[in-house]
């Protein structure tokens, strides 16, 4: 032990003495770092009053072989780049010396650096006094690896798999020195961990000396990993330090069993009605989706796997729908259910069905329909609402009570669910003619007027007409009547040629009695204006027409102008007569249009004549039409 210590001490002293003797002070850098294929410059400086006498560059490979190989030699006569070495033709040396600073500068340049250049370069400098010194520099070569390529597992990975499952491969090529691969899951680095994470790296050294590193990541997959992003990070040395690159991200498909199914309804409307269409969707919490089937009242239904479409719903479709899922991988069966109710409104039933009531009598109508929800009732007659309950009481029936009653039922929660039913109510009794005989306008072509008579009553009355001449009292043949039954009575119409003044008598009868009304019908000369003269009792008054008034006004104005012209003419004639030139004759009689008007009836008669005035009047009126229309 002691002996060995002493030996080491002596060796150390020897080195110290040698250094002291080696007068040339040489300084170099410990390490020079350079990229593959670039060029390297290895500096070597010395202190000496005179330029170096001899410079030698040699290399020493790492490892056990400690022999030096000279690659360059220089003395005052020669500069030799040794033949047959790795550096022949690849190196050059620059040498300079500064006398004032007593400093020499040598730079060894190596072109197209190779991996094999990673070794020690020794610079040896001799001075004129044959003293020498040396410095050693390690050359380190780097190469950036390729961008990392990642390939994920595309097939689904089951959470039930035993142990870690392969997630992805990562590969990085041609790095030097050997790059490292680190795996990440959502920014968290992964490390080997028993049964949970397994990372297997494989390193290949290419013939060129560069490294290709491949890494395989396996993990024990959990459900949440379906959202995770995996990537690999590559770390490698570079002349400026450590560099890092990240691969693309990959996702994985995670398979896990369905343990629960949920059902949903579209549209999600609590008030479904008959005729609607709904979709029942079944969703499982597993991946991939299992096979689904639907059951209703113990019966399997046809479905498009996860969607059951129910069209044209019926009330019998109400109830519970069950969804069953079957996982083909795990053979697990799960089920869930949902209930639906289909609402309905049946056709309306109105009671009583016999709808005849005596005048003054009472009637109670009820309107009902079977429904799954509460309904709102409304009664309408002639477009007006007459009731808002299921029951409608009608008291002291009159002919106004008769008619069509419509009952409308609406489901309160589903207003679209609405039905209607109409019933006709007849009020039994003696006929009634409230409006009398109505006289229509005169037909310009054949001078006819339409007489109408409306009788209420039930059973529907028979209407008979009677026409007689006012003056002679003789009966006139009765044209065929047109009868129209209405909901409450009958409307009868005859078309009369009023060539003379008539009395029209309309009588309505049924088993309860008879009622009749009559009316005077004015008539006028053939081919002249005809105006109907309404009776003062129960009749429709033909209102005076404005055109008539307009025509009379113009006529009066013209008459006044004519009279004025006549007066002037007379004065002129009188003047001439006074002078004795002319005998003054009598002017002719003038017939003017007679016009009578009273409150109730207007009669306008224009006698046909050939007087100038009549012609003039027609001309002013612009046509030969009768002013009464």
Ligand X SMILES: *[C@@H]1O[C@H](CO)[C@@H](O)[C@H](O)[C@H]1NC(C)=O
Near ligand X by CB under 6 A, which window of 128-136, 314-322, 407-415, 514-522?
A: 514-522
Is 516 a binding residue for ligand X by CB under 6 A? The answer is yes
Is the Cα dihedral 605, 505, 480, 486 positive or negative? positive
Closest CB to ligand X among residues 263, 521: 521
**365 near 392, Cβ under 8 Å?**
yes
Among 69-77, 235-243, 370-378, 430-438, the segment contacting ligand X (CB under 6 A): 235-243
User: What is the DSSP pairing of strand 349-351 with strand 31-35?
Assistant: unpaired
Minimal distance, residue 220 CB to ligand X, in Å: 24
Furthest-apart CA atoms within the chain: distance in Å: 197
Beta carbons of 119 and 59 less than 8 angstroms apart:
yes
Least spacing, CB of residue 208 vs ligand X, in Å = 19
At residue 614's C-alpha, the angle toward residues 609 and 616, to 5°, is 145
Residue 510, interface with ligand X (CB under 6 A)? yes
The reply to whether 235 sits near ligand X by the rule CB under 6 A is yes
Distance between CA 141 and CA 544 in Å, rounded? Answer: 125
Among 92, 245, 337, 398, binds ligand X (CB under 6 A): 398
Nearer to ligand X, 103 or 462 (CB): 462
Render 332-375 in DSSP notation, one character per residue.
-EEEEEEEE-EE-BPPPEEE-S--EEETT--EEEEEE--BSS-E
∠ at Cα 209 (207, 211), nearest 5°? 105
User: Which of the ranges 60-68, 274-282, 417-425, 438-446 carries the binding residues for ligand X, by CB under 6 A?
Assistant: 438-446
Whole-number Å distance between alpha carbons of 237 and 244: 9
Q: Which of the stretches 9-17, 77-85, 101-109, 504-512 binds ligand X when contact is defined by CB under 6 A?
A: 504-512
Task: Kindly indicate which of the ranges 6-14, 230-238, 344-352, 416-424 contains the residues binding ligand X, using the contact rule CB under 6 A.
Answer: 230-238
- Shortest reach from residue 422's CB to ligand X, in Å: 24
Instruction: With H, G, I as helix, E, B as strand and everything else as coil, classify residue 559.
Output: helix
Please give the radius of gyration of the chain, using alpha carbons only, rounded to the nearest integer. Answer: 64
Query: Shortest gap between Cβ of 506 and ligand X (angstroms)?
Result: 8
Shortest gap between Cβ of 242 and ligand X (angstroms)?
5
- Rounded to whole angstroms, the Cα distance separating 479 from 481 reads 6
Residue 402 or 517 having the CB closest to ligand X: 517
User: Binding to ligand X by residue 505, rule CB under 6 A?
Assistant: yes
Chain centre distance of CA 267: 15
Which of residues 156 and 440 has its CB atom nearest to ligand X in the complex?
Answer: 440
Q: Is 109 in the site for ligand X (CB under 6 A)?
A: no
Angle at 337 between CA 335 and CA 338, to 5 degrees: 160
Residue 479 contacts ligand X per CB under 6 A: no
Is 443 or 587 the residue whose CB approaches ligand X more closely?
Answer: 443
Cβ closer to ligand X: 83 or 240? Answer: 240
Q: Which helix (H) or strand (E) holds 265?
A: strand 261-266
Q: Is 495 in the site for ligand X (CB under 6 A)?
A: yes
Between 337 and 398, name the residue whose CB sits nearer to ligand X.
398
The torsion of the CA quartet 534, 539, 543, 548, rounded to 10 degrees, works out to -10
In degrees and rounded to multiples of 5, residue 186 shows phi and psi of 50, 55
245 binds ligand X (CB under 6 A): no
> According to CB under 6 A, which one of 318, 450, 611, 621 is a site residue for ligand X?
450
Residue 236 touches ligand X, criterion: CB under 6 A: yes
Report the C-alpha gap between 79 and 81 in whole angstroms. 7
Options 484-492, 515-523, 529-537, 551-559: segment touching ligand X (CB under 6 A): 515-523
Site for ligand X in 147-206 (CB under 6 A): 180
Q: Which residues bind ligand X (CB under 6 A)?
A: 180, 235-237, 242, 360, 396, 398, 440-441, 443, 450, 462, 466, 495, 505, 507, 509-511, 516-518
């Amino acid at each position: 032990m002691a002996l060995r210590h002493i030996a080491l001490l002596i060796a150390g002293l020897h080195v110290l003495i040698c250094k002291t003797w080696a007068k040339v002070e040489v300084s170099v850098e410990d390490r020079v770092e350079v990229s593959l294929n670039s060029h390297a410059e290895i500096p070597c400086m010395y202190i000496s009053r005179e330029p170096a006498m001899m410079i030698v560059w040699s290399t020493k490979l790492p490892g056990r072989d400690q022999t030096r190989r000279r690659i360059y030699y220089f003395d005052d006569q020669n500069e030799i780049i040794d033949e047959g070495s790795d550096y022949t033709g690849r190196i050059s040396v620059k040498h300079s010396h500064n006398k004032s600073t007593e400093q020499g500068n040598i730079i060894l340049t190596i072109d197209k650096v190779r991996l094999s250049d990673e070794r020690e370069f020794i610079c040896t400098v001799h001075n004129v006094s044959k003293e020498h010194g040396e410095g050693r520099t390690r050359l380190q070569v780097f190469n950036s690896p390729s961008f990392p390529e990642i390939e994920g597992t595309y097939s689904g990975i089951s959470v039930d798999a035993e142990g870690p499952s392969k997630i992805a491969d990562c590969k990085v090529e041609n790095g030097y020195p050997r790059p490292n691969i680190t795996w990440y899951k959502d920014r968290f680095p992964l490390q080997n961990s028993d049964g949970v994470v397994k990372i297997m790296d494989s390193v290949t050294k290419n013939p060129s000396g560069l490294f290709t590193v491949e890494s395989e990541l396996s993990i024990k997959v959990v459900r949440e990993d379906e959202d995770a992003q995996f990537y690999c990070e590559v770390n490698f040395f570079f002349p400026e330090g450590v560099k890092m690159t990240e691969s693309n991200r990959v996702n994985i498909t995670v398979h896990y069993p369905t343990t629960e199914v949920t059902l949903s309804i579209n549209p999600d409307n609590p008030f479904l009605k008959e005729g609607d269409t709904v979709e029942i969707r079944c969703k499982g919490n597993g991946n991939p989706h299992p096979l689904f089937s639907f059951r209703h009242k113990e019966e399997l239904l046809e479905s498009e796997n996860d969607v059951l479409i129910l069209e044209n719903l019926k009330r019998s479709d109400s109830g519970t729908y069950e969804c069953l899922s079957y996982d083909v991988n795990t053979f697990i069966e799960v089920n869930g259910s949902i209930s639906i109710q289909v609402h309905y409104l049946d056709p309306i039933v109105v009671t009583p069905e016999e709808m005849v009531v005596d005048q003054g009598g009472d009637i109670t109508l009820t309107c009902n329909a079977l429904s799954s929800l509460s309904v709102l009732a409304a009664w309408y007659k002639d477009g007006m609402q007459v009731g808002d309950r299921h029951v409608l009481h009608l008291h002291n029936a009159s002919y106004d009570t008769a008619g069509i009653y419509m009952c409308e039922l609406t489901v309160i929660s589903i207003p679209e669910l609405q039905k209607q039913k109409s019933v006709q109510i007849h009020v039994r009794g003696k006929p009634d003619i409230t409006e009398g005989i109505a006289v229509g306008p005169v037909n310009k072509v054949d001078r006819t007027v339409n007489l109408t008579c409306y009788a209420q009553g039930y059973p529907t009355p028979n209407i008979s007409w009677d026409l007689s001449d006012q003056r002679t009292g003789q009966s006139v043949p009765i044209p065929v009547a047109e009868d129209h039954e209405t909901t409450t009575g009958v409307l009868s119409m005859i078309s009369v040629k009023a060539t003379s003044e008539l009395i029209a008598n309309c009588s309505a009868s049924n088993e309860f009695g008879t009622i009749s009304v009559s009316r005077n019908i004015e008539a006028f000369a053939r081919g002249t204006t005809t105006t109907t003269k309404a009776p003062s009792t129960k009749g429709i008054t033909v209102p005076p027409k404005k055109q008539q008034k307009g025509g009379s006004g113009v006529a009066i104005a013209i008459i006044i102008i004519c009279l004025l012209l006549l007066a002037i003419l007379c004065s002129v004639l009188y003047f001439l007569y006074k002078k004795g030139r002319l005998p003054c004759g009598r002017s002719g009689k003038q017939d003017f249009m007679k016009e009578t008007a009273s409150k109730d009836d207007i009669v306008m008669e224009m006698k046909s004549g050939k007087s100038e005035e009549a012609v003039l009047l027609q001309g002013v009126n612009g046509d030969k039409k009768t002013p009464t229309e």
